[in-house]
Amino acid sequence: MKIIMLGAPGAGKGTQAKMIAEKYHLPHVSTGDIFRANLKEGTELGKKAKEYMDKGALVPDELTVEILLDRVAKDDCKNGYVLDGFPRTIPQAEVLDKELEKLGDKVDLAIDVEVPDENIVRRMSGRRACLKCGATYHIEHIPPKQEGICDNCGEPLVQRDDDKPETVQKRLTVYHDQTAPLIDYYTKKNILKTVDGTQDMEAVFADIVKLVG
């Protein structure tokens, strides 16, 4: 079973991807992790990607797919995988489909974790972090015992720039422009399933399990 996770930043797709991977004994393949691993190990693909990254340029879709296919060709992916963070655009999805087809393979299921923008802005702008010990909180869902102070080490909590409402809104705009069209793309292929991501984490997961079967 080859599954692609879709959803806006902050929708919780990464968490769900990890839970699916654990339940079905599939590798959780995150493009960010693969890039980091290739760069760290100094592989040929990693060196190629680094040339673009050093110039501040985007890594071309073909190279990203090459790095991804190199990862899913490993033994642990022979029964499938959960893909998180790729594809992000229609051209990337098309390159991925074309390359998988050459291998006699295809994506089986695309799961969209659907959360309205206003929920995401509220969810992400409520996050607080401790820069000293790395603990994270949420002013509504996981508040610290004392407002603005880390339970673990007593340091002040901060709102990261990434979690500020205006930054979240910008990321959502990019998502709607570039990534949301994938919902139509996979709907046309009859492999898209949607879950309500506004529920709590366990309820979202229970819905996904019903879909995966």
- Mean pLDDT of all residues belonging to the chain: 93
Cis ω on the peptide bond leading into residue 143 (within 30° of 0)?
Answer: no
117-125 and 165-174 are packed helices; what angle lies between their axes, rounded to 10 degrees? 140
Residue 54: pLDDT band with limits 50, 70, 90: confident
Give the pair of three-digit tokens for residue 173.
């705009």
CATH number among 3.40.50.300, 3.30.428.10, 3.10.20.30, 3.20.20.105, domain 2-212:
3.40.50.300
Q: Are 111 and 5 in contact (CB under 8 A)?
A: yes
Q: Which of 50, 122, 164, 171 is catalytic?
A: 171
Give the pair of three-digit tokens for residue 85.
């963070």
Say whether 122 is catalytic: no
Q: Which of 13, 71, 123, 128 is catalytic?
A: 13
Residue 150: pLDDT band with limits 50, 70, 90: very high
Reported pTM: 0.86
31-41 and 44-54 are packed helices; what angle lies between their axes, rounded to 10 degrees? 100
Taking the alpha carbons at both ends of the chain, their separation in whole angstroms is 11
Neighbours of 83 (CB within 10 A): 24
* 123 closest CA partner among 162, 174, 153: 162
Number of residues that this document lists for the chain: 213
Q: Are 57 and 51 in contact (CB under 8 A)?
A: no
Say whether 71 is catalytic: no
Residue 162, pLDDT > 90, answer: no
Give the CA dihedral 86, 88, 92, 93, nearest 10 degrees.
Answer: 80
DSSP-derived letter for residue 9 is T
Neighbours of 148 (CB within 10 A): 12
Over residues 6-20, the mean pLDDT reads 93
Residue 57: pLDDT band with limits 50, 70, 90: confident
Beta strands, E only, 21-180: 28-30, 81-84, 109-114, 127-130, 136-138, 157-158
Neighbours of 172 (CB within 10 A): 19
Say whether 171 is catalytic: yes
pLDDT digits (tens, 9 = 90+) for 183-213: 999 999 999 999 999 999 999 999 999 999 8
Q: Which of 2, 71, 123, 127 is catalytic?
A: 127
Q: Which of 18, 48, 50, 88 is catalytic?
A: 88
Say whether 13 is catalytic: yes
Over residues 48-65, the mean pLDDT reads 88
Cis ω on the peptide bond leading into residue 87 (within 30° of 0)?
Answer: yes
Percent of the chain predicted with pLDDT > 70: 100
Bridge partners of residue 187, in order along the sequence? none
Any idea which residue has 């959360």 for tokens?
115
Domain residue ranges in the chain: 2-212
